[in-house]
Amino acid sequence: MPFLNALVRFLGAVVLTYLGLLAVTFFIGRVVPIDPVLAIVGDRAPEHVIARVREELGLNLPLWKQFLIYLGKVLQGDFGTSVLSSNPVMQDIRRVFPATLELATLGTIIGAGIGIPLGVWAAVRRGGVADQMVRVMALIGYSVPIFWLGLMALVVFYARLGWVGGPGRIDVVYEYTLTPWSGIMLLDTALAGEWEAFGNAFSHLILPASLLGYFSMAYISRMTRSFMLNELAQEYVVTARAKGLSEARIIWRHALRNAAVPLVTVVALSYAGLLEGSVLTETVFAWPGLGLYITNSLQNADMNAVLGGTIVVGSVFIGLNLLSDLLYRTLDPRTRTR
Amino acid sequence: MSQSVLTRRAGSLATAAAIAALIAGAGAALAATPKDTLVVAWAIDDIITMDPAESFEISAGEIMGNSYDRLVRFDVNDPSKLSGDLAKSWKVSDDGKTYTFELKPGLKFASGNPITAEDVAFSLQRAVQIDKSPAFILTQFGFSKDNVKDKIKATGDLTLTIEVNQPYAPSFVLNCLTANVAAVVDKKLVMSKEQNGDLGYAWLKTNYAGSGPLKVREWRANEILALERNDNYHGEKSKLARVIYRHVKEASTQRLLLEKGDADVARNLTPQDLDALASNKDIKTTATPKGTVYYISLNQKNPNLAKPEVREAFKYLLDYSGISGTLIKNIGIEHQNFLPVGLLGASTEKPYKLDVNKAKELLAKAGLPNGFKVTFDVRTTQPVQGIAENFQQTAKRAGIDIEILPGDGRQTLTKYRARQHDLYIGQWGADYWDPHTNADTFARNPDNSDDAKSKPLAWRNAWDIPELTKKADAAVLERDADKRKALYEDMQADFRKTSPFVMIYQMNEVAAYRANVGGLKLGPTSDSTYMFTVTKQ
């Protein structure tokens, strides 16, 4: 039963990944030189309050015991309460993750939608305009701080030109007119049939998404270019040309088809990277997403929240890995025969 | 052939992008907030609870001040004057230990429940019983879990007595009752949400049970906090239907929102932002000195820093006027005393200025003519980082070699609280509006041992001061206001000369707002910035 074997091996790997992830995050969280009690009681609390909270949190116990207790609770589906928001961690994450998901998804669509054709073009016309563009864009993408670029984009497109909505997910006017269902603004507004709010949410989303899209485009187009160059130098391309196939067919149907296999990994990784939440983008655009949530929690040693966030990020990676594995199987017939 | 295909494809891509931009442009209505709604851009990530018995953070303080009533409030224009909030009148017994309050009749909570003396007694008892960070503001009067029900009780529908353990200065007791921890919660509502005898603690963390002019509609941590007009409020109703605080951490983003009109008020602008906005006709600013003072402190566990001459020398090594004109321009006022201006007895004496030669003389007297090396824990936020770097430069001129150890706020604070620093730069905001709050931390250290019960700032810097401690204790019992004031003045004079604290400045809170907003005034404490008096045209 090779399939069952593979499944067991996969599940084993998933469990180990989670355990490792949790253990490392947990112990890092406990050795950072920040007193987690401070985040809860503040700087002014009398000593007896501090001592009581320390005990309530179980911080007096040995580290391994704390970890086992935490693990036991997680297995029962209890990820604890965030000390900063006073909410169960998973409730918080259900609120912040859709914001990041929406941003990352649109960012990746923009990044891959423009990056792949651009990369192909650059590979086909080496040294041409597109090739130079890809190079310059990648250079800017790597060297300009996203924070600065975000602010500049806001100044130009929001403040000066007024083309897009500003920081935040939606205008205050709409804030209390719709009930969030999925937490994904575009979906919620569309389902409610509130097209004006939909347009408003889109105008808030497009700038940060384009910014993230730009950075993933810079990466994806470069990778596409190099994969394509590799493929175009293959013998089957020469054969195809000799057969008299049209150049377009050779590029899009033959070479890109083969380059698609590694590209899937590149796009998936870039998507996963965006799903972790981009702290700086979220800061500039006042976007209440996962990146800000985890960072803010970490700075306050709010470890339940950090661990909960880590599990979500871990799940995203595992899920996308699985997805790209499945895509491999459809894209590359050789993997199916094994 | 291939070229034309690709060019066409690229061409259509570019067109698609242009169309997308146009659509987005059409969607973005020109920014304006609704007329009945005030939108405030502010860093509100410090809020961890909505329960007044636990809330102790700056932005939470403002929310509590707007949404909860208390027995007494101080006058925002003259904080030394008190007026009744829920209380109609009060009197102090001859022995100075029993306070009797008479409530205004016919008042209601936002829920519609009537406000009775029992609600007030319950709220104060609850704060003592739950015993969270701000509870000491009440327990310092001798209340404990065991005795609070006898000491604070309703003696009628509208009368209430509070019995304190010593004949304190009445101003001290009443000032403490203006604090958020003494806010009045709706007993009936809170107790209906009680779980396992928690006095509604779990529920109130994210909910609301008050009677203030504005009520809390929703709090989404790190995102938004919405207040709404409370139509049951007993006083003049809020002019605004809604006040929405949006969490915006980044000052530049706040500024953009304000300039564009997507926010009506911006609260965390930098001196540079404020300078840039000064020429904008649509934007105004308002400022108020706050009860927060900034200081550099010298850990007395370090033998060099413990020398009296070294302590004094450091006070001559700060470039007070240079810092005032640049790093804290608009946001701070040079101040060299532990009591911020506005509190009873606060001094405005400024004996120190940058004087490297004087500092060198003092160092030589201390037996350290060639200076010494010392570390400096600094959190990486402005303006403290800039001030620390500035101090590093000026101290170098006297031969003192400062190594700055940058860190995150909680990280440096953890180290400071464990007395493991050499130099530390910090701030202290008044916990309640009475001079004792700062005297208690800067000039009082009843036990300097490592496992002391109370760990005020004097303790954190291992500054052992039995004499000053006695003076501070005497001052809270002085019932004559003028004499009490004189006691604080005397303590400040002593402190200026001998303390291991280089006092730098008093915070000046600035808010920038759009010109169509009226009546915005920042209060001297966080809980006295009232949004319910604001109007919008």
Contact yes or no for B20 and A206 at CB 8 A? yes
pLDDT band per the 50, 70, 90 thresholds, residue B27:
very low
Q: Of A27, A45, A75, which marks where a domain is finished?
A: A75
Contact yes or no for A121 and B25 at CB 8 A? no
Please indicate, yes or no, if residue A173 is contained in any of the structural domains.
Answer: yes
Please indicate, yes or no, if residue A105 is contained in any of the structural domains.
Answer: yes
- Say yes or no: A186 and A46 in one domain: no
- Say yes or no: B536 and B503 in one domain: no
Contact yes or no for A159 and B13 at CB 8 A? no
Q: Report the alpha-carbon distance of residue A258 to residue A230 in Å, rounded.
A: 10
User: What's the complex ipTM?
Assistant: 0.83
Contact yes or no for B414 and A171 at CB 8 A? no
- Contacts of residue B443, defined as CB under 8 A and 6 or more positions apart, other chains included, come to B338, B458, B465, B468, B469, B471, B472, B491, B494, B495, B499
Contact yes or no for B57 and A158 at CB 8 A? no
Residue B92 has pLDDT above 60, yes or no: yes
Residues of B in contact with A289 (CB under 8 A): none
What number is the average pLDDT over the span B339-352?
94
pLDDT band per the 50, 70, 90 thresholds, residue B31:
low
- Say yes or no: A288 and A158 in one domain: yes
Q: Of B180, B206, B232, which marks where a domain is finished?
A: B206
Q: Report the alpha-carbon distance of residue A296 to residue B287 in Å, rounded.
A: 29
Contact yes or no for B205 and A86 at CB 8 A? yes
Domain tally, chain A: 2
What percent of chain A has pLDDT above 90? 18
pLDDT band per the 50, 70, 90 thresholds, residue A317:
confident
Query: First CA to last CA across chain B, in angstroms?
Result: 63
B53 close to A (CB below 8 A): no
pLDDT recorded at residue A176 = 75
Please indicate, yes or no, if residue A245 is contained in any of the structural domains.
Answer: yes
Residues of B in contact with A199 (CB under 8 A): 23, 26-27
> Nearest-CA distance from B437 to chain A in Å?
11
> Nearest-CA distance from B121 to chain A in Å?
23
- Among B222, B447, B454, most A C-beta atoms within 10 A, so best to mutate, is B222
Residue B209 has pLDDT above 90, yes or no: yes
Please indicate, yes or no, if residue A309 is contained in any of the structural domains.
Answer: yes
Nearest residue of A to residue B50, measured between CA atoms: A86
Residue B1 has pLDDT above 80, yes or no: no
What number is the average pLDDT over the span A103-124?
92
What percent of chain B has pLDDT above 70? 94
Contact yes or no for B220 and A95 at CB 8 A? yes
Contact yes or no for B17 and A288 at CB 8 A? no
- Say yes or no: B299 and B398 in one domain: yes
Residue B23 has pLDDT above 90, yes or no: no
Contact yes or no for A84 and B453 at CB 8 A? no
Interface of B with A in 220-249 (CB under 8 A): 220-224, 226, 244, 246-249
Helix (H) or strand (E) holding B535: strand B535-536
Nearest residue of A to residue B438, measured between CA atoms: A44
pLDDT recorded at residue B25 = 42
Contact yes or no for A46 and B34 at CB 8 A? no
Residue B26 has pLDDT above 70, yes or no: no
- Boundaries of domain holding A284: 95-337
- DSSP for A187-234? HHHHHTT-HHHHHHHHHHHHHHHHHHHHHHHHHHHHHHHHHHHHHHTS
Residue B13 has pLDDT above 70, yes or no: no
**What mean pLDDT is reported for chain A?**
86
CATH number reported for the structural domain that contains residue A326 in this entry? 1.10.3720.10
Tokens, residue A133: 């563009």
Helix (H) or strand (E) holding B74: strand B72-74
pLDDT band per the 50, 70, 90 thresholds, residue A337:
low
pLDDT recorded at residue A3 = 74
Select from B223, B414, B452 the Cβ nearest to the Cβ of A35.
B414
**B55-94 burial string, b = 16+ CB within 10 Å, else e?**
bbbbbbbbbbbbbbbbbbbbebeebeebebbbbeebebee
> What Å distances lie between residue B36 and A173, A209, B216, B441, CA to CA?
11, 32, 16, 43
Check residue B269 and give left, alpha or beta (phi > 0: left; psi -120 to 50: alpha): beta
CB atoms near residue B446 (< 10 Å) = 17
Q: Is B334 helix (H, G, I), strand (E, B) or coil?
A: strand
B4 close to A (CB below 8 A): no
> Nearest-CA distance from A196 to chain B in Å?
8
B13 close to A (CB below 8 A): yes
- Say yes or no: B278 and B169 in one domain: no
Residue B6 has pLDDT above 70, yes or no: no
Interface of B with A in 433-452 (CB under 8 A): 452
- Contacts of residue A15, defined as CB under 8 A and 6 or more positions apart, other chains included, come to none
Please indicate, yes or no, if residue A121 is contained in any of the structural domains.
Answer: yes
Contact yes or no for B411 and A33 at CB 8 A? yes
- Say yes or no: A64 and A112 in one domain: no
- Say yes or no: A55 and A189 in one domain: no
CATH number reported for the structural domain that contains residue B270 in this entry? 3.40.190.10
Q: Whole-prediction pTM value?
A: 0.85
- Say yes or no: A69 and A129 in one domain: no
Interface A–B counts its CB contacts (< 8 A) at 191
pLDDT recorded at residue B183 = 97
- Say yes or no: A136 and A59 in one domain: no
Domain tally, chain B: 3
Select from B2, B250, B410 the Cβ nearest to the Cβ of A283.
B250
B259 close to A (CB below 8 A): yes
- Say yes or no: B80 and B118 in one domain: yes
Contact yes or no for B257 and A301 at CB 8 A? no
pLDDT digits (tens, 9 = 90+) for A23-66: 888 888 777 777 778 777 777 777 788 888 888 888 888 888 88
Contact yes or no for A92 and B135 at CB 8 A? no
- Say yes or no: A119 and A25 in one domain: no
Contact yes or no for B30 and A162 at CB 8 A? yes
Select from B29, B256, B452 the Cβ nearest to the Cβ of A158.
B256
Nearest residue of A to residue B204, measured between CA atoms: A86
- Among A30, A38, A41, A43, most B C-beta atoms within 10 A, so best to mutate, is A43
Residues of B in contact with A46 (CB under 8 A): 133, 135-136, 453-454
Select from A161, A251, A284 the Cβ nearest to the Cβ of B250.
A284
HSE, side-chain direction, 13 A CA sphere, residue B351: 14
Contact yes or no for B29 and A42 at CB 8 A? no
B365 close to A (CB below 8 A): no
Q: Report the alpha-carbon distance of residue B180 to residue B190 in Å, rounded.
A: 17
Contact yes or no for B221 and A176 at CB 8 A? no
Q: Tell me if A303 sits within 8 A of A102, measured CB to CB.
A: no
- Say yes or no: A166 and A47 in one domain: no
- Say yes or no: A138 and A13 in one domain: no
pLDDT digits (tens, 9 = 90+) for B267-302: 999 888 998 999 999 999 999 999 999 999 999 999
pLDDT digits (tens, 9 = 90+) for B147-202: 999 999 999 999 999 999 999 999 999 999 999 999 999 999 999 999 999 999 99
Residues of B in contact with A49 (CB under 8 A): 131-133, 135
pLDDT recorded at residue B5 = 39
Nearest residue of B to residue A91, measured between CA atoms: B220
Residues of A in contact with B265 (CB under 8 A): none
> Nearest-CA distance from A69 to chain B in Å?
22
pLDDT recorded at residue A195 = 87
Contact yes or no for B262 and A84 at CB 8 A? no
pLDDT band per the 50, 70, 90 thresholds, residue A1:
low
pLDDT digits (tens, 9 = 90+) for B358-413: 999 999 999 999 999 999 999 888 899 999 999 999 999 999 999 999 988 778 88
CATH number reported for the structural domain that contains residue B322 in this entry? 3.10.105.10
- DSSP for A300-330? TT-HHHHHHHHHHHHHHHHHHHHHHHHHHHH
pLDDT band per the 50, 70, 90 thresholds, residue B12:
very low
pLDDT digits (tens, 9 = 90+) for A178-237: 777 788 888 888 888 888 889 989 999 999 999 999 989 989 999 999 999 988 888 888
> Nearest-CA distance from A71 to chain B in Å?
24
Nearest residue of A to residue B39, measured between CA atoms: A172
Q: Of B168, B191, B206, which marks where a domain is finished?
A: B206
pLDDT band per the 50, 70, 90 thresholds, residue B314:
very high
- Say yes or no: A321 and A187 in one domain: yes
- Contacts of residue B348, defined as CB under 8 A and 6 or more positions apart, other chains included, come to B335, B337, B341
Please indicate, yes or no, if residue A89 is contained in any of the structural domains.
Answer: no
> Nearest-CA distance from A30 to chain B in Å?
13
Tokens, residue B316: 């001559």
Q: Is A140 helix (H, G, I), strand (E, B) or coil?
A: helix
pLDDT band per the 50, 70, 90 thresholds, residue A336:
low
Higher pLDDT, B79 or B422: B422
B281 close to A (CB below 8 A): no
Which phi and psi (to 5°) does residue B405 adopt?
-105, 100
B37 close to A (CB below 8 A): yes
Higher pLDDT, B266 or B21: B266
Please indicate, yes or no, if residue A70 is contained in any of the structural domains.
Answer: yes
> What Å distances lie between residue B223 and A212, B112, B456, CA to CA?
21, 29, 33
- Say yes or no: A143 and A47 in one domain: no
> Nearest-CA distance from B103 to chain A in Å?
31
- Contacts of residue A242, defined as CB under 8 A and 6 or more positions apart, other chains included, come to none
Torsion of CA B163, B164, B167, B170, to 10 degrees: -80
Q: Report the alpha-carbon distance of residue B413 to residue A54 in Å, rounded.
A: 17
> Nearest-CA distance from A190 to chain B in Å?
14
Residue B64 has pLDDT above 80, yes or no: yes
Nearest residue of B to residue A248, measured between CA atoms: B2
pLDDT digits (tens, 9 = 90+) for B430-478: 888 899 999 999 999 999 999 888 889 999 999 999 999 999 999 999 9
Q: Tell me if B41 sits within 8 A of B283, measured CB to CB.
A: no
What is the DSSP-derived secondary structure letter of residue A88? Answer: B
Contact yes or no for A44 and B56 at CB 8 A? yes
Give CB contacts under 8 A, 24+ apart, made by A273-279. Answer: A273/A216, A274/A100, A274/A103, A274/A104, A274/A107, A274/A108, A274/A212, A274/A216, A275/A100, A275/A101, A275/A104, A275/A313, A275/A316, A275/A320, A276/A100, A276/A313, A276/A316, A277/A96, A277/A100, A277/A104, A278/A103, A278/A146, A278/A212
> What Å distances lie between residue A22 and A46, A80, A291, A292, B335, CA to CA?
33, 14, 18, 20, 48
Place of tokens 């997680």: A74
> What Å distances lie between residue B123 and B107, B244, B366, B481, CA to CA?
16, 27, 54, 29
**What mean pLDDT is reported for chain B?**
90
Residue B20 has pLDDT above 60, yes or no: no
Beta-strand runs (E) in B344-414: 373-379, 401-407
- Say yes or no: B380 and B442 in one domain: yes
pLDDT recorded at residue B30 = 46
- Say yes or no: A63 and A197 in one domain: no
Tokens, residue A92: 């918080």
- Say yes or no: B107 and B184 in one domain: yes
Q: Hey, which residues does A88 pair with through a beta bridge?
A: A81
- Boundaries of domain holding B236: 1-65+212-282+515-537
pLDDT recorded at residue B19 = 40
- Say yes or no: B293 and B345 in one domain: yes
Please indicate, yes or no, if residue A90 is contained in any of the structural domains.
Answer: no
